[in-house]
Every structure is written in C-alpha cells, then in structure tokens.
C-alpha cells in the first residue's frame, strides 16, 4: 500500500524539474500545490534603465504557464491603491520564440498588463500581458498574451527589452518569472 501512495503520484507527474535546461532556476512545488506548481525564476529585472536581455530555455514543464514580472516593494507598507495601478509605468517588450514559431511578441506599458494579487490591493503583484480575446487554445506550442503552453523537448528564446524605463520602480524588487501549472489541490 505504501508503494502505491508514494509511486503513483510520481508516475502521474511525468515531468521532472531536473530535465529543465537553460537560464534561471526552476522549482517544482509538488503535485500537492494548489497553483503555480512550477516557478522558473529568471532573476532580477531592472525597468529603470533602457536595455534588453536574452534568455534560453529547453524542456519547460508541459503545463500552461505565464511569463511575467513579480513586483515586490522594498517597504512592507506599500499598497497598490484603490485604482489597482502601479506607481510606475515602464514600456516593456517581450518576445518568446521557438524553432518553429513566435509565441509571444508584445510591447506595452506595464499598467496595461494584468495585475494578479493575493489580496485586493496588496503585494506581491504578478504582472503579465493579456491576450487579444478570451479564447485560449490548450494545444502545446500556443499562447494567449503572455500565457503559453510549452511543447515537450522544445527550445525557447526569450528577449526582454525595456523600451521606456521608469525610475519610479527603484523602490521595488522585480523578478522575471515563468510560472504556472496546477497540482492535485487546484
């Protein structure tokens, strides 16, 4: 019986974070996590100065994930405010490609992105670009805005460019993340 309890969930997953190759650090929070089972942390991002940075990734989890920025103020008293807008608004361009297609090609001000919070006006905030309509395709190798479903064994290239910087972001820690996937509890 213990064998079934331990081995069955491991077999059901079929993906191991050890198979990921590329930039950043991929964490698998486990099949018991409610959401955001997989988190690929690509590091700190500076939106206060213009410039671009390229990333390479292969063997991402075969789950729906979102590419975005996690925003955390350095002061614990900072709130989003009633208008649910960030106190800074750089223009960021994201381009995610594979060998066969362009999945994400988006340029817009950060306050035009979707802001996902734990509470109504609290941090951390996860910001990601929206898609053109409400239709989502669950096929691997497709995207809606900054939400995409990777193909197994595919290599991806990501370019993040700060087109119009905003020094108002200095009081924030900003990490570039790819996160998603659900566990058994979701």
Q: What is the DSSP letter of 5?
A: H
Strands 51-58 and 21-22: antiparallel
Confidence of residue 78 (pLDDT cuts 50, 70, 90): low
Tokens 């491991």 identify what position? 10
Q: How does pLDDT run across 127-184, given as a tens digit for each residue?
A: 999 988 777 778 999 999 999 999 988 999 999 999 999 999 999 999 999 999 875 5
Q: How does pLDDT run across 8-61, given as a tens digit for each residue?
A: 444 455 777 788 999 999 999 888 777 889 999 999 999 999 999 999 999 999
So what's the pLDDT on residue 59? 95
Nearest to 130 by CA among 85, 68, 181, 88: 68
So what's the pLDDT on residue 74? 77
- Any domain includes 9: no
Nearest to 104 by CA among 94, 113, 119, 90: 94
Confidence of residue 119 (pLDDT cuts 50, 70, 90): low
- Any domain includes 26: yes
Provide the β-strand partners of residue 116: 126
So what's the pLDDT on residue 81? 57
Q: What is the DSSP letter of 9?
A: H
Q: Above 50 in pLDDT, residue 88?
A: yes
What is the distance between the alpha carbons of residues 82 and 60, in angstroms, rounded to a whole number?
Answer: 36
What is the distance between the alpha carbons of residues 127 and 61, in angstroms, rounded to a whole number?
Answer: 20
In which order are the strands placed within the sheet that holds 21-22?
A: 21-22, 51-58, 155-164, 91-98, 102-109
Tell me which residue range forms the domain holding 114.
Answer: 17-180
Q: Above 50 in pLDDT, residue 185?
A: no
So what's the pLDDT on residue 55? 98
- Any domain includes 100: yes
- Any domain includes 2: no
Nearest to 161 by CA among 66, 71, 94: 94
So what's the pLDDT on residue 103? 94
- Any domain includes 159: yes
- Any domain includes 5: no
Q: What is the CATH number of the domain that holds 129?
A: 2.60.120
Cβ neighbour number for residue 38 with a 10 Å cutoff: 23
- Any domain includes 164: yes
The three-state (H, E, C) secondary structure of 103-139, written as one string = EEEEEEEHHHCEEEECCCCCCCEEEECCCCCCCCCCC
So what's the pLDDT on residue 116? 86
Q: How many domains does the chain have?
A: 1
């Amino acid at each position: 019986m213990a064998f079934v309890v331990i081995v069955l969930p491991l077999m059901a997953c079929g993906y191991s974070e050890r198979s990921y190759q590329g930039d950043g650090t991929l964490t698998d929070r486990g099949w018991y996590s409610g959401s955001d089972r997989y988190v690929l942390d690509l590091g700190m991002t500076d939106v206060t100065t213009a410039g671009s940075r390229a990333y390479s990734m292969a063997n991402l989890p075969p789950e729906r994930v979102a590419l975005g920025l996690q925003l955390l103020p350095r002061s614990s008293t900072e709130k989003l405010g009633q208008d649910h807008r960030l106190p800074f608004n750089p223009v960021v361009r994201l381009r995610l490609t594979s060998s066969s297609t362009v999945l994400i090609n988006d340029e817009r001000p950060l306050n035009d992105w979707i802001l996902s919070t734990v509470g109504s006006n609290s941090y951390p905030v996860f910001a990601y670009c929206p898609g053109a309509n409400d239709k989502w395709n669950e096929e691997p190798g497709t995207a809606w805005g900054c939400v995409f479903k990777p193909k197994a064994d595919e290599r991806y290239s990501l370019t993040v460019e700060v087109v119009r910087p905003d020094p108002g972001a200095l009081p924030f820690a900003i990490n570039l993340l790819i996160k998603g996937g659900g566990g058994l509890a979701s």
